[in-house]
Amino acid sequence: MTAKFITIEGIEGAGKSTQLTFIERFLSEKGKDVTVTREPGGTDLGEQIRSLLLTPTSTPMAVDTELLLMFAARAEHVQQLIKPALANNTWVISDRFTDATFAYQGGGRGIDQQRISQLADWTLSGLKPDLTFVFDLPVEMGQQRVLKRNQGIDRFEQEKVDFFEKIRACYLDRAEADPKRIKVIDASQSIEDIQIQLSSILQLLV
């Protein structure tokens, strides 16, 4: 069976990183070669762009700059890592991908969705995740989890609740429009209950 491309999405603190390890282990135990990666990032250059994007700035970054940097990192990621891995029959799990741009830069920052689609058409040349998990939970719950983790706050995490409410709504709209690919997971459940749900969905793919 050909390798699949799986992406994980959600607002901050939804538990993506926590469950990514579980998904990787599930697939490896099924005998799949698996690469785990993230956006923005995933390549040397992409990680440098990530640092530009996440480091708080003294003056706000222009929204178009933010959008273009996301796609610059993604172009590198797709060409240098994702496509070669899939061609080599290696499954790819990415912590965020293009749905994040529609949600954050589209829903959150208010950039026209068509403009984002144009960049996606150009950059991805047809690449689309086979399966996307959207980890959904109330914004305040995600923020409390991030605070409890007690790491530094990045440029996005400085935003207010309203910004993340718009992002959450955008993810849910996208899931409703493409239910075959995008599976919404109730991320307020326990880690174990989420894993039971993930297993039953992944089982259909392997």
Pick out residues in 95-114 that bind ligand Z5A (CB under 6 A).
95-96, 100-101, 104-105
Q: Is 114 exposed, middle or buried (0-12, 13-18, 19+ CB in 10 A)?
A: exposed
**Residue 15 within binding range of ligand Z5A, rule CB under 6 A:** yes
**Residue 197 within binding range of ligand Z5A, rule CB under 6 A:** no
* Orientation angle between helical segments 191-203 and 16-29, nearest 10 degrees: 40
Classify residue 185 by its DSSP letter: E
Using CB under 6 A, which of the segments 21-29, 80-88, 123-131, 142-150 binds ligand Z5A? 142-150
Classify residue 201 by its DSSP letter: H
Contact between 130 and 8 under an 8 Å Cβ cutoff? The reply is: no
**Residue 174 within binding range of ligand Z5A, rule CB under 6 A:** no
5, 6, 7, 14: which one contacts ligand Z5A (CB under 6 A)? 14
Q: Which is nearer to ligand Z5A, 146 or 172 (CB)?
A: 146
- Binding residues for ligand Z5A, rule CB under 6 A, total 26
Strands 131-136 and 91-95: unpaired
**Residue 145 within binding range of ligand Z5A, rule CB under 6 A:** yes
**Residue 12 within binding range of ligand Z5A, rule CB under 6 A:** yes
Binding mask 54-93 for ligand Z5A (x = CB under 6 A): ----------------x-----------------------
Please tell me the distance from the alpha carbon of residue 60 to that of residue 42, in angstroms, as a whole number. Answer: 25
How far apart are CB 127 and ligand Z5A at their closest, in Å? Answer: 14
* Tokens at 72, concatenated: 């610059």
CA 197 to chain CA centroid, nearest Å: 19
Name the nearest CA neighbour of 93 among 171, 167, 39: 39
- Residue ranges that bind ligand Z5A, judged by CB under 6 A: 10, 12-18, 39-40, 70, 95-96, 100-101, 104-105, 145-146, 148-149, 156-157, 190-191, 194
